[in-house]
Structure 1
Amino acid sequence: MLYHAYEMTHAAISPMRTAARMSKEVLKNPLNPAAGTYGSRTMSAALEMFINATRRYGKPDFEIESTEVDGVETPIVEQVVWSRPFCDLLHFKRDSLEAQDRNDPKVLMVAPMSGHYATLLRGTVKAMLPGHDVYITDWRDARDVPVTDGSFDLDDYADYVIAMIEHLSRNGERVHVMAVCQPGIPVMVAASIMAMDKNPARPASLTLMGSPIDTAKNPKQPNELAKTKPLSWFENNVVTHVPWPNKGFLRRVYPGFLQLSSFFAMNLDRHVGAHVDHFRNLVRGDGDGAEAHQRFYDEYMAVMDLTAEFYLQTIDRVFQRRLLAQGEYMYRDRLVEPSAMEDIAIMTVEGEKDDITGLGQTEAAHALATGLPESKHMHFVAEGVGHYGVFNGSRWRNIIQPKIQAFIEENRARVTRSRPGRGAKVVPIKEKIPA
């Protein structure tokens, strides 16, 4: 009933939103002699606030049209190169001769499946494009996936990551994987399984950014919330069915609008203050300030549903029982052994002021990867940076991204098979590529 009530509320408000939109246009119309008065500006700003608060926010576009490669403005072409029911693998193809002549490393960016779309990493992608061949997981809204396409849980997530890594490694070079926030656990699982199987396509490196590898270290509000109630409470109170006429009708999901509510609750004062400032900017006619606010909230308010099985397993395995950190994580009846990773370099990145993934939670990955030599471990803490600053903003572009780029370049590798059935030999890529 929860989801149905949400849909019915949207339907009921729709006529009021239409009326508000028409009224706003009348108040702002240049032919209206009172358009420039304080009263008209105030009323128009209030109507716009109402419209934005009640409208649906669809999936945003990446809107990355070009990047600079070797000083040349290079067009970006978005291509879907791999697809499954719950995810498309999106390639940002750099369409210029300069880009084609380079031998930049392939980077698989695993976006979080935590309520927002992959476009939340727009700034992350932009900063990586000049020196890397970038791919990103474009997760689909679970309410748009028919129930006939089956379920999707944490093991399926790891399967998807493995399949994408294998797809991108077909040319012989091992791909580099970046996991931003939530994907840290399934990416670690996927890499561990590939190492255990001696899969020649196993990644050359993992970069884990603000990921909850061990939530017992410096727990924050989301960690505590997940532990305060039994798993049955989450299943009975926040899991519901997708209503008709959505494509995913009857699929059990954790709705995006509930996730958005929890995001707002965590920083309510900050969001209220931002909207008060936005109202004042609209009254004053400060177009730049109003546009920046709207651009941020167009992204922030665009949310997607998560499958119930994925959501509940994440609560259980990651936050409540901490199975990977405890050495008890099972992937399809197999014990996951991160110690099997012997040549997959790991870099962890944390924000000093991260209020979602506390300091030490991501760094915990190094203690699990005991099979790696010291030279394959790297940890970096960005001073004064919060959770989103780890992968977006000026400090990401100027401080964090250059360190990740150097880490990836240092750990590039190709795979050549020595004898059939005898595993694979790792060859540093610098031995194979002319300077």
Structure 2
Amino acid sequence: MRFMASYDMMESIRNTNQWLGASTLAMASYPAFAMFPNPALQWLGAWGEVTERTFSRMVVKPDWNLPSFLGENGTDCTVVEEIEIKGAFGDLLHFRVQGRTEPKRKVLLVAPMSGHYATLLRSTVISLLPDCDLYITDWHNARDIPVSAGKFDVEDYTMHLVDYMRHLGPDTHVIAVCQPAPLALVATAYLAEEDPAAQPSTLTLIGGPIDPSAAPTEVTDFGHSVTMGQLEQSMIQQVGFKHAGVGRKVYPGLLQLSSFISMNIEAHKTAFTNQIQRVAKGEAHDHDKHNKFYDEYLAVMDMPAEFYLSTVDRIFKNGEVANNSFTIKGKKVDIGKITTVAVKTVEGTKDDISAPGQCIAALDLCTGLPDSKKASHLEKGAGHYGIFAGNSWRTNIRPLVLDFIDDNEKQTPPGYRTKKPAAKPANKNTAA
């Protein structure tokens, strides 16, 4: 903590840059300057507009803004967001489709708690809504959670998933994206032993670090290159005075964002330079490709310090899920107890966050599951984002996931596609 700027200092730097951008835009837009046209003012105003928007988005939770879609009867179906279960650290959110009467696949989409809001999965949600009765984990920004709410670590996260699965019932299909994949696997194993009747029908794990050492990346290398003491001193800070969570120890979203950007800094520099040029030429608009991407990418949230540190320590350093030694309140959760839940893994050959080999390791851990209940898919040419939200997801992976759900549905209700024969044994892809 002593090796970094304080929480309030980081917020002050962000706020100052937002103010500089807004002030520059206001100055360059001053009507009197129009008497003496100067291209430099256009470029100055463009820089101010892009800068102000960039730094203001870092502290704003994006709206879902889910569009309506054409229903089966030819009418527009609007989507309403409802809180199914409210909690201090996160809510279980239900996307209710108005006017829909035929039952659809009940899907729990487990969003990552890795620095971005659940809205990062907006395109995933939009693609699933026409075919699914969809729920999602909507985690809260730790800076807004009072210290009195207590701690939140990987065990608490796992038990939240257990509670959600119990609430939704055994006809639920769980899809875990990225970071929560190992914890969703543990939650399913916990239910298999403690409450078998509440187990979901299927579990799909997309690009998650089940076994980070199976195919090391920069993310896994970082986890092994520092001690937990160094990590706590350099990454953990206390929330500042202007927020409800004042005093809570967190891994700041602004710090996480700087890490995201540093991993591909040249691409981000080029993107912002090009956007300033487009604004100066009058070619940019509010919902262009750049703004749609960066409005979401720059919107970051703080993570509870206990969750961040325990994730690094238990998932990456000690590999407790990979070694099947994860414990909850001192009791081991045996992944081999999963015997009826069909499990599918999805990976991308160009995933530089969770490389091929890390996620498919889940199938070997499910020793009590027959091969007919296991499946895997390796998407060629897809990066991390592409396997759950990009073109690869929409055109290839999503149909495969829905087929997998239908193949393992206990009872196919009306409105589903025709149920296919049982899935073939898993295709054990090797790391590319």
Give TM-score scaled by structure 1 length: 0.90
For 2:143 and 2:408, the matched residues in 1 are separated by 39
Q: Structure 2 residue aligned with 1:208, among 205, 209, 212?
A: 205
User: Does structure 2 conserve the Cα–Cα contact (< 8 Å) formed by 1:353 and 1:384?
Assistant: yes
For 1:290 and 1:158, the matched residues in 2 are separated by 37
1:42 alignment counterpart: 43
What's the offset of the Cα at 1:65?
2.9
1:404-415 equivalence runs, <5 A: 404-413=401-410
CA displacement 1:30-81 (0-9 Å, x = unmatched): x93556x633322221222332343353000110031233243211111111
1:16 alignment counterpart: 20
1:253-402 equivalence runs, <5 A: 253-287=250-284, 291-402=288-399
Q: Structure 2 residue aligned with 1:199, among 171, 196, 200?
A: 196
User: Does structure 2 conserve the Cα–Cα contact (< 8 Å) formed by 1:69 and 1:131?
Assistant: no
For 1:86 and 1:252, the matched residues in 2 are separated by 14
Instruction: Pick which of 38-47 and 303-312 moved more.
Output: 38-47
For 2:162 and 2:191, the matched residues in 1 are separated by 8
1:329 maps to a residue whose letter is: F
1:75-90 equivalence runs, <5 A: 75-90=78-93
CA displacement 1:78-124 (0-9 Å, x = unmatched): 1111111001111111101xx21x12111000000000000000000
User: Does structure 2 conserve the Cα–Cα contact (< 8 Å) formed by 1:282 and 1:290?
Assistant: no
What's the offset of the Cα at 1:7?
2.5
For 1:393 and 1:10, the matched residues in 2 are separated by 30
User: Does structure 1 conserve the Cα–Cα contact (< 8 Å) formed by 2:406 and 2:417?
Assistant: no
* Residues paired across the two proteins, number: 411
Where structure 2 has 5 or more consecutive residues not aligned to the other structure, the ranges are 419-432
SS of structure 1 residue aligned to 2:204? strand
After superposition, the CA RMSD in angstroms is: 2.1
User: Does structure 1 conserve the Cα–Cα contact (< 8 Å) formed by 2:111 and 2:136?
Assistant: yes
What's the offset of the Cα at 1:243?
1.1
1:179 alignment counterpart: 176
1:218 alignment counterpart: 215
User: Does structure 1 conserve the Cα–Cα contact (< 8 Å) formed by 2:18 and 2:51?
Assistant: no
For 2:70 and 2:374, the matched residues in 1 are separated by 31
Distance 1:434 1:138, change over 3 A: closer
2:160 alignment counterpart: 160
2:423 alignment counterpart: none
Where structure 1 has 5 or more consecutive residues not aligned to the other structure, the ranges are 414-427
What's the offset of the Cα at 1:187?
0.5
State the percentage of identical aligned residues: 36
CA displacement 1:369-408 (0-9 Å, x = unmatched): 0111111111001111000001112221111100011111
CA displacement 1:245-269 (0-9 Å, x = unmatched): 2100100100001110110011111
For 2:19 and 2:389, the matched residues in 1 are separated by 37
2:95 alignment counterpart: 92
CA displacement 1:3-39 (0-9 Å, x = unmatched): 1211233454565344224224437x9x93556x633
For 2:286 and 2:267, the matched residues in 1 are separated by 16
Give TM-score scaled by structure 2 length: 0.90
User: Does structure 2 conserve the Cα–Cα contact (< 8 Å) formed by 1:168 and 1:175?
Assistant: yes
1:118 alignment counterpart: 118
1:6 maps to a residue whose letter is: M
2:42 maps to a residue whose letter is: R
Distance 1:382 1:228, change over 3 A: same
1:423 alignment counterpart: none
1:5 maps to a residue whose letter is: M
For 2:124 and 2:417, the matched residues in 1 are separated by 29
User: Does structure 1 conserve the Cα–Cα contact (< 8 Å) formed by 2:68 and 2:78?
Assistant: yes
Q: Does 1:54 align with 2:52?
A: no
User: Does structure 1 conserve the Cα–Cα contact (< 8 Å) formed by 2:249 and 2:305?
Assistant: yes
CA displacement 1:291-345 (0-9 Å, x = unmatched): 2211211101100000011000000011111111112211211111111111111
Distance 1:212 1:434, change over 3 A: closer
Distance 1:286 1:160, change over 3 A: same
For 1:63 and 1:111, the matched residues in 2 are separated by 17
What's the offset of the Cα at 1:280?
1.8
2:240 alignment counterpart: 243
2:347 maps to a residue whose letter is: E
